[in-house]
């Protein structure tokens, strides 16, 4: 019976640790998932380790739970502080480092960033610059990503360069997902379900059940993807 009791306690503490981790992640914000600073990285590893201990500590689960909550609120407090204080932000998240500017590679900044030349050249190639002379500025961001500003002759052409005025695009909104209309999205867009069905019919769909996904472009176009190859009417 003792083994079943331990299994039950482990299952409960595991669920509790998952719930607490989820709540703390929501509390600390999406930055904990992406664009992590060194502080975020350290806290994330520590919280994961404490959560694992919480799931397996059958004697005193309250101790790792308390530590987990303290770490979570500490991370939240630091994030609030860095959002309000520029000085604190610089101390915690760090400052960008210019690695290259106008044909000059800054050796001291490479040393500060713990980057050697081979690593730096790898970053340039990964960003599509195989000729370093095409780069005007390279900056190491606080999250470890290297940003590149190309020289004017090597940057992509834009419509304004060619004196063009293209129509502004909009984020596509789903009107049909998995064969079902989305009434809230349709109403929010100022459209009617009958309009959606007419647009689908023009594309060969007899009803929305044959559509896996339909996206509205913000104007008058509805792009539909069939549920399967035989979804289109003959």
Q: Please tell me the predicted confidence (pLDDT) of residue 202.
A: 93
Q: Please tell me the predicted confidence (pLDDT) of residue 167.
A: 80
Query: Domain for residue 163, yes or no?
Result: no
Q: Please tell me the predicted confidence (pLDDT) of residue 198.
A: 94
Q: Are residues 18 and 71 in the same domain?
A: yes
> What is the average per-residue pLDDT within 170-180?
91
CA–CA distance, 41 with 161 (Å, rounded to integer):
42
Identify the bridge partners of residue 15 per DSSP, sorted by sequence position: none
Query: Domain for residue 232, yes or no?
Result: no
Closest C-alpha to 224, from 94, 64, 204, 97: 204
Query: Domain for residue 196, yes or no?
Result: yes
CA–CA distance, 168 with 215 (Å, rounded to integer):
17
**171 φψ region: left (φ > 0), alpha (ψ -120 to 50), beta (else):** beta
Q: How confident is the model at residue 205 (pLDDT cuts 50, 70, 90)?
A: very high
The answer to whether 101 and 137 are in contact (CB under 8 A) is: yes
**More reliable by pLDDT, 138 or 93:** 138
Q: How confident is the model at residue 81 (pLDDT cuts 50, 70, 90)?
A: confident
CATH code for position 138: 3.30.240.20
User: Which of 32-36, 48-52, 118-122, 205-209 is predicted least confidently?
Assistant: 32-36
- Residue 205 backbone dihedrals phi, psi, to 5 degrees: -100, 120
* Domain encompassing residue 146: 97-154
Identify the bridge partners of residue 222 per DSSP, sorted by sequence position: 216
Q: What is the DSSP letter of 33?
A: T
Query: Domain for residue 231, yes or no?
Result: no
> What is the average per-residue pLDDT within 197-219?
92
Q: Are residues 84 and 101 in the same domain?
A: no
Q: In the predicted model, is pLDDT for residue 13 greater than 80?
A: no
Q: Please tell me the predicted confidence (pLDDT) of residue 234.
A: 46
Query: Domain for residue 164, yes or no?
Result: no
**76 φψ region: left (φ > 0), alpha (ψ -120 to 50), beta (else):** alpha
Query: Domain for residue 117, yes or no?
Result: yes
Q: How confident is the model at residue 6 (pLDDT cuts 50, 70, 90)?
A: low
Q: Are residues 9 and 84 in the same domain?
A: yes
Q: Please tell me the predicted confidence (pLDDT) of residue 108.
A: 93
Q: How many domains does the chain divide into?
A: 3
Task: Identify the three-state secondary structure at position 145.
Answer: coil
Task: Identify the three-state secondary structure at position 198.
Answer: helix
Q: pLDDT averaged over the chain?
A: 80
Q: How confident is the model at residue 96 (pLDDT cuts 50, 70, 90)?
A: confident
Handedness of CA 87, 92, 95, 97 (dihedral sign): positive
- Helix residue spans in the chain (DSSP H): 2-28, 38-56, 62-84, 86-93, 107-112, 117-126, 183-188, 193-202
Last residue of a domain, one of 90, 117, 145: 90
Q: In the predicted model, is pLDDT for residue 33 greater than 70?
A: no
Q: Are residues 72 and 33 in the same domain?
A: yes
The tokens for 23 are: 């709540």
Query: Domain for residue 168, yes or no?
Result: no
Task: Identify the three-state secondary structure at position 135.
Answer: strand
Q: Are residues 147 and 121 in the same domain?
A: yes
Q: Are residues 117 and 194 in the same domain?
A: no
Name the percent of the chain in helix, strand, coil, to the closest 5.
Answer: 50, 15, 35
Q: Please tell me the predicted confidence (pLDDT) of residue 34.
A: 47
CA–CA distance, 196 with 188 (Å, rounded to integer):
13
Query: Domain for residue 181, yes or no?
Result: yes
* Packing angle of the helix pair 2-28, 38-56 (nearest 10 deg): 160
Q: What is the pTM of this model?
A: 0.56
């Amino acid at each position: 019976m003792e083994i079943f009791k331990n299994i039950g306690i482990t299952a409960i503490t595991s669920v509790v640790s998952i719930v607490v981790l989820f709540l703390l992640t929501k509390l600390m914000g999406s930055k904990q998932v992406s664009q992590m600073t060194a502080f975020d990285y350290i806290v994330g590893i520590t919280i994961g380790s404490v959560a694992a201990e919480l799931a397996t500590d059958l004697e005193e689960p309250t101790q790792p739970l308390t530590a987990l909550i303290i770490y979570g609120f500490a991370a939240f407090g630091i994030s609030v502080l860095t959002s309000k204080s520029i000085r604190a932000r610089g101390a915690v998240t760090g400052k960008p480092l210019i690695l290259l500017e106008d044909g000059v590679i800054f050796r001291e900044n490479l040393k500060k960033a713990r980057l050697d030349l081979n690593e730096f050249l790898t970053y340039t190639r990964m960003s599509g610059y195989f000729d370093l002379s095409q780069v005007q500025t390279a900056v190491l961001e606080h999250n470890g990503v290297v940003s590149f500003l190309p020289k004017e002759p090597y940057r992509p052409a834009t419509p304004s360069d060619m004196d063009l005025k293209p129509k502004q695009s909009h984020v596509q909104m789903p009107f049909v997902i998995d064969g079902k209309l989305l009434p809230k999205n349709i109403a929010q867009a100022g459209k009617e379900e009958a309009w959606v069905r007419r647009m689908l019919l023009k594309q060969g769909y007899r009803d929305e059940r044959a559509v896996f996904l339909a996206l509205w472009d913000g104007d008058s176009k509805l792009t539909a993807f069939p549920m399967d190859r035989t979804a289109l009417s003959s």
